[in-house]
Amino acid sequence: MGSSLWPPKVSMELHVKNREKLLASLRQHLSDSSRPLHGFVLLQGGEEQTRYDTDHLELFRQESFFAYLFGVTEPGFYGAIVRSDIATGDSLLFAPRLPSEYAVWLGKIKQLSYFKEHYMVSTTSFSDEIASVLQQHYQGAGKPLLFLLHGLNTDSNNFSKPAEFQGIDKFDKDLTTLHPILTECRVIKSKLEIALIQFANDISSEAHVEVMRKTKVGMKEYQLESIFLHHTYMYGGCRHCSYTCICATGENSAVLHYGHAAAPNDKTLEDGDMALFDMGAEYNFYGSDITCSFPAVLDAHNAVISSMKPGVNWVDMHILAEKVILESLKRGNILLGDVEDMMAARLGAVFMPHGLGHFLGIDTHDPGGYLQGLERRKEPGLKSLRTIRDLQEGMVITVEPGCYFIDALLLPAMNSPMTTKFLNQEAINRYKDFGGVRIESDVLVTAAGCYNMTKCPREIGEIEGVMAGAPWPAKNISTHARNGLEI
C-alpha cells in the first residue's frame, strides 16, 4: 500500500474569491431590480451536536453555505459581508466567546486576531457583539437591512435556517434575496474549487483501485469500506466522506443507497457476486462521488460524457443514457421489441429509477438543481432528476448511469399492460439475484465540452488487470494533484 498523493495546502483565498463572487452577483441583482445598494449579508455557521441526552459529541462538520463563504472549520461562528459601493466589501467574522475551561479540555483559546489572519477577513469580533458591530458599520437612517439565508433545498425539501442572534430586532430582514443568488454562486465552480474537487477525486480514485486490488471472496463488504476510508484519510487527509460508503455485492447492488445503519455493508463476498462500490472522500469541504462496478453500463456513461458541453440539457442526457441501456438490454435478449416504443412507455425507469447525476461540490448533492420557476418532471425516472438545467461551463456534475434488477419495480412492470410485452420474463428471472451495476464519474463542464475528473479503471480489461495486481497508471492522477489547477 502507499500513495503518490499528499494533501495539498489550501489557501483561504478560495473563500475570499467566493465572497467576492457573491458580492458581485448581489450588486448586479440589486441594480437590475433598482433597489438601493445597502445592507449586510449575515450567515450563522453550524453548532456542535451531542447525541441524544448524553455528552457524546458528534464530530463537527460545518454547514455548507457557511463553509463556502468563510471556510471556518470550528463550530459556533457567524459571518457577515458588509457591502460598500466603493471597495469590494468588508467581511466580518464573529467567534464564540469561549469559557476559560475550554483551555483545559479543548485546547488553547485562539485570539480574535488569529481568526482574522487565518480566515483572511477584515475584522473579527465575538458573537455576542453582532448587533453593536453591525450598527457601527451602518451609516444610514432607520433600521439597517440584513440579507439572511432562507430557502428551499430541492433535494431534501428542507429550508435553510436564517441566522438568529441577540438584538436581531434592531434590523430589517430580507429573507428572499440571498438564497437563490448564493446557491447560483455555488453552481459554477471556480478554479480553486475545481482543484479541491480534483484532489478529492484523485485520492478517492486511487482508493477505489486499492479496494479492487484487495477484494477477495470471503471478505465482508465493510472490510472494503474500511480499506477505502483508511486510504483516503491516511494519504489524503480526508477525515470526512461525502456520504456513507455504499459497498454492495450480489443482490445488494440493486439497493441504490445500500450501506446505511439498517443495511450496513455486512454481507460476505461470494464467488460470482456483482460488486458496486459507491464511495467518495471529502477534502476541505469539497467532495467526490465515484462508483465503480463491472462495466455493463459503461457505454451509457461514455455516450453521455462524449455529448456533454455547455448548452446541452441534462434531461436529454438522462434520456440518452436510458436509450443506450435499453439497447444493450435488447442486445442481451432481456428486452424485446422496439427501443423507441420502450422509451415512450418509460421502461428505462424500471432499470434506472434514479436520475443520471447531480451537481457536486461542498455537498454531495450540491444545491441549485432547479432555478426558481423550473418545474420537476412528472414521469418515472425523470422525476428523480436532481437538476433539469442546461449545462454551463464550470458546473461539476456526476454522470452515473446504472442498471438494476429490482423486484419492487420489475414485478409491477411485468404485470402492467403498458410494459409487459417488452420484458423477456424467462431471461429476467435468471438475472433476479444479479443485483445492479452503476458507473459514476465526476465531470466538469468546460468551454469546449467536458472533462472527466475521475480516474478509475473502467474497461473490463483494466479492472481485471488491477485486481490481478497490475499497476494502475497513477501518472495522470499525480500530475493533477501536484499542480492542482491544471486541467
> Could you tell me which stretch among 14-22, 128-136, 259-267, 462-470 binds a second copy (CB under 8 A)?
259-267
Shortest distance, position 206 Cβ to a second copy, whole Å: 15
Among 141, 408, 448, 468, binds a second copy (CB under 8 A): 408
330-359 binders of a second copy (CB under 8 A)? 353
Cβ contacts of 366 within 8 Å, gap of 6 or more: 186, 187, 358, 359, 360, 396
Per the listing, cell 471556480 goes with 190
37 binds a second copy (CB under 8 A): no
- If we measure between CA atoms, which residue out of 191, 177, 145 comes closest to residue 28? 177
Query: What does the buried/exposed string (b/e) look like for 377-405 if buried means 16 or more CB atoms within 10 Å of the residue's CB?
Result: eeebbbebbbbbbebebbbbbbbbbbbbb
At 384, the amino acid letter reads S
| Rounded alpha-carbon distances, angstroms, from residue 38 to 3, 141, 194, 405, 445 | 50, 12, 32, 56, 35
β-pairing, 145-148 with 172-174? parallel
Q: What whole-number distance in Å separates Cα of residue 432 and Cα of residue 428?
A: 6
112 binds a second copy (CB under 8 A): no
Q: What whole-number distance in Å separates Cα of residue 230 and Cα of residue 1?
A: 11
Shortest distance, position 219 Cβ to a second copy, whole Å: 9
Binding map of a second copy across residues 415-444, x = CB under 8 A, - = no contact: ------------------------------
59 binds a second copy (CB under 8 A): yes
Q: Is the dihedral of CA 62, 63, 69, 70 positive or negative?
A: negative
Among 2, 9, 85, 104, binds a second copy (CB under 8 A): 104
> Could you tell me which stretch among 22-30, 305-313, 363-371, 476-484 binds a second copy (CB under 8 A)?
363-371
447 binds a second copy (CB under 8 A): no
74 binds a second copy (CB under 8 A): yes
> Could you tell me which stretch among 119-127, 216-224, 333-341, 417-425 binds a second copy (CB under 8 A)?
216-224
Q: What whole-number distance in Å separates Cα of residue 194 and Cα of residue 121?
A: 22
Shortest distance, position 470 Cβ to a second copy, whole Å: 23
Among 407, 433, 459, 464, binds a second copy (CB under 8 A): 407
Is the distance from CB of 206 to CB of 292 less than 8 angstroms?
no
Among 75, 180, 449, 465, binds a second copy (CB under 8 A): 75
- If we measure between CA atoms, which residue out of 380, 375, 386 comes closest to residue 156? 386
Shortest distance, position 260 Cβ to a second copy, whole Å: 7
Among 2, 9, 52, 86, binds a second copy (CB under 8 A): 52
Which residues contact a second copy by CB under 8 A?
46, 48, 50-64, 73-75, 100, 103-108, 153, 155-156, 158-161, 220, 222-223, 225-227, 229-230, 233-234, 237, 239, 243-244, 252, 255-258, 260-264, 266, 353, 363-365, 367, 406-409
